[in-house]
Amino acid sequence: MDEIMAAVNYGLLPLEEVVEIVKIKPQKLELVLTGRDAPSKLIELADYVSEITARKHPMEKGIMAREGIEY
């Protein structure tokens, strides 16, 4: 579920619905939720939680997000 945290954090998708999906998914199903600032409820349910930090990014050269690349 790419960038689902943004949908939750902007109020477009209720956190409770995402929590329920995580809880009722089949045990062997690998479910990947991406995005920044995951609510603590989802972090608690997760098997893995990662944070990615940029070491080098085009934005450092003034190149803004490009259609088809970053969005």
Residue 64: C-alpha distances to residues 5, 7, 67 (Å): 22, 22, 10
* Mean pLDDT of the residues in the chain: 94
Phi, psi of 52, rounded to the nearest 5 degrees: -110, 130
CA distance 45 to 5: 14
For the question of whether the overall pTM of this predicted structure is more than 0.85, the answer is: no
Handedness of CA 26, 51, 37, 54 (dihedral sign): negative
Each residue's pLDDT tens digit, 4-22: 999 999 999 999 999 999 9
